[in-house]
Chain A
Amino acid sequence: MLVYLLRRLAQSVFVLIAMMIVVFFGVYMIGNPVDILISPDATPAEIEETMARFGFDQPVYIQFLKFVGNALQGDLGRSFVHGEPAVQLILSYMPATLELAALGLLFSVAIGVPLGVYAGYKADRWQGRAIMTGSIFGFSLPNFWVGMLFILIFAVQLQWLPSTGRGDTVEVLGMRLSIFSSNGLQYMILPALTLALYKASLVTRLARAGTQEALTQDYVKFARAKGVSETRILFVHVLKNIMIPIITVLGLELGSMIAFAVVTETVFAWPGMGKLLIDSITTLDRPVIVAYLMLTVIIFIVINFTVDVIYTLLDPRVRVKGEAA
């Protein structure tokens, strides 16, 4: 178990290094930040001075080594625009994105699991088919379109929920969060639902496939032979078995949920990391872009790692094999 985790850790470090190279040179290629940093009527001496201050006059590899050196100390540069350290800037936007992703994840499980289990149970009936057809919409409708549709229906027409912004926040553990204030929660529902839709479809399909498979197993038949009710068979015997793959996939998807909240955040003007990224790209705020990409990679790695651990805890068979190893 420990050996396995250590090996995973080593892999992660390798991924991190590879990402540093890709991110740095990738971003280095796009545009010249000097154009934005320096006013067009600056004197050559001023330009020279600015270039030197940001280190742009150095050869690329020197810049890269400097970048790596600083990165190892947790310094990914200062935002050209905000003047703050990029990492700090992103971290200050992070809670908003995290809470949105968390609520989205919750929604996708709360919607997807019951629908999927039911669709698997009624696979050959119209109920099962209807749910599957519905999930195709969840897969194929673009995020921004769904977001705008939600705004149109629930905010503009019905006026049930606010459309944009973040609402009231409460300070929890030093982070400002909306999820714990009822007003803030109202602001979260539409963007979280939008974000959840794709994942909910995914969970529905996973749960359906798993349920269908599990229902053919002898242990289900044996549970029936014991006289256990169908509800209990579905939501204890089957669910406990299918949660393992669902949690794995969802855990992995949490990363992409955070990373790709970009569109949803933009549509709902949700002040999270995604919106910050879009803003930084338009202003060519290189350190922020680089820091965002690096942090995203780290988030992915941490999540994959956590999923592995949860997975071992969920499946008693893996757990024992691990202990024996």
Chain B
Amino acid sequence: MSVLELRDLQTHFFTDAGVVKAVDGVSFSLDEGEVLGLVGESGSGKSVTGFSILRLVDPPGRVVGGQINFRGQDLAALPEREMRALRGNKIAMIFQDPMMTLNPVLKIETQMVEAVRAHEKVSHAAARDRAISALDKVGIPSPAERLAAYPHQFSGGMRQRVAIAIALLNGPDLIVADEPTTALDVTIQSQILAEVQELARDTGTALIWITHDLAVVAGLADKISVMYAGRIVESGPTDAVLTAPGHPYTAGLLGSIPGHGRRGERLTQIPGMAPNMAHMPQGCAFGPRCPHVSDTCRGSAPQITDYGTGRGLRCHHPILAAEGAA
């Protein structure tokens, strides 16, 4: 059964410089226990997509269209009070920057206990016990003592573990993890990745893992959605997308990963920069940076089309499987 189904999500920022369509028609769905990797360059709208699901987009941003179906109810139309009851309870989020997410002047205990008691009428002691077991689960040594500490007494990696523990507290159906390991060094990163993956498998929690790094999702995600300038340009099962990318942008992202592809091959970079979201180019947004760009691309933006089993692609000139393998 699908836990989450985004349909044509539109989140726009109404700035003085114009309307920024940070999320412009994003659709995907997730089943229980499934892990979706949401991949894209900086500024492509990944975080805004995540915040839209929790309805936590700050003004001047607003979800202006589409549906966010969570277990059959449309979150976009839910009253704020009911939305609050879901947040941190059925849907949890881990933020991008572990240094800023915990309140510097409140003890870890306060910040964890309140997350439990916001949703359940339990005693402080019971909430505390649950906090201890959550900290234990994410590998924080002597959790009972650490509860009395303040965030600055933890390293960045430890803080992110605390944030992950908080996300796990109420056994959510869905966790949105926004580049939770980007700020951490590589060993801790892979440690946390493995732990989270195991947790998702054990509890049937669906997971959206946001990252700009295809290498991170390769071993973690069941399926991938690649985002570019507020839109999904390619999606499909992880293996299929990584071995035979259909979109030149996906291929470009893959080409820039060290160690991917054949030895001795040069690392390539996608030329140019992500477009200014307030002034999008005519036609295909990736056109100006695309090696295969044609007049068709400049004339009209491509639509999402089926591309093999379970795959979707938004491109006028998809890379053919044979060509991709060559």
Interface on A for B, CB 8 Å cutoff?
216-219, 221-229, 232, 236-237, 240-241, 244, 315-317, 320
Q: Are A241 and B118 in contact (CB under 8 A)?
A: no
8 closest Cβ pairs, A-B complex: A227-B88, A226-B88, A218-B100, A227-B87, A226-B115, A219-B103, A222-B101, A227-B118
Contacts of B92-120 to chain A: CB distance below 8 A: 92-93, 95, 97, 100-106, 110-111, 114-115, 118-119
Given contacts A229-B118, A232-B114, A315-B105, contact A222 B95 (CB under 8 A): yes
- Chain A residue with Cβ nearest B118: A227
Measured between alpha carbons, how far is A76 from B152 in the docked complex, in Å? 50
Q: Are A222 and B102 in contact (CB under 8 A)?
A: yes
Given contacts A227-B89, A227-B119, contact A218 B114 (CB under 8 A): no
B85 sits at the interface (CB 8 A): yes
**Nearest Cβ on chain A to B107's Cβ, whole angstroms:** 9
B147 sits at the interface (CB 8 A): no
- Chain A residue with Cβ nearest B150: A316
Measured between alpha carbons, how far is A217 from B305 in the docked complex, in Å? 40
Measured between alpha carbons, how far is A237 from B115 in the docked complex, in Å? 13
Q: Are A316 and B115 in contact (CB under 8 A)?
A: no
Residues of B within 8 A of A316 (CB): 104-105, 150, 152
Measured between alpha carbons, how far is A224 from B58 in the docked complex, in Å? 12
Count the B residues whose beta carbon is within 8 Å of the partner chain — how many? 31
B63 sits at the interface (CB 8 A): no
Q: Are B153 and A236 in contact (CB under 8 A)?
A: no
B241 sits at the interface (CB 8 A): no
Q: Are A320 and B152 in contact (CB under 8 A)?
A: yes
- Chain B residue with Cβ nearest A220: B103
**Nearest Cβ on chain A to B108's Cβ, whole angstroms:** 12
Measured between alpha carbons, how far is A241 from B54 in the docked complex, in Å? 25
**Nearest Cβ on chain A to B264's Cβ, whole angstroms:** 43
Q: Are A229 and B100 in contact (CB under 8 A)?
A: no
B138 sits at the interface (CB 8 A): no
**Nearest Cβ on chain B to A224's Cβ, whole angstroms:** 6
B166 sits at the interface (CB 8 A): yes
Measured between alpha carbons, how far is A232 from B54 in the docked complex, in Å? 19
**Nearest Cβ on chain B to A243's Cβ, whole angstroms:** 9
Please, what's the 1-or-0 string for B63-102, where 1 marks a CB less than 8 Å from any CB in chain A? Answer: 0000000000000000000001111110011010100111
Measured between alpha carbons, how far is A217 from B105 in the docked complex, in Å? 13
Q: Are A240 and B56 in contact (CB under 8 A)?
A: no
Residues of A within 8 A of B92 (CB): 225-226
Residues of B within 8 A of A225 (CB): 54, 56, 87-88, 92-93, 95
**Nearest Cβ on chain B to A271's Cβ, whole angstroms:** 42
Q: Are B152 and A240 in contact (CB under 8 A)?
A: no
Partner pick for A224 among B85, B87, B103, B104, CB 8 A cutoff: B87
- Chain A residue with Cβ nearest B83: A227
B206 sits at the interface (CB 8 A): no
Q: Are A240 and B58 in contact (CB under 8 A)?
A: no
Q: Are A237 and B85 in contact (CB under 8 A)?
A: no
Given contacts A225-B88, A226-B87, A226-B88, contact A218 B101 (CB under 8 A): yes
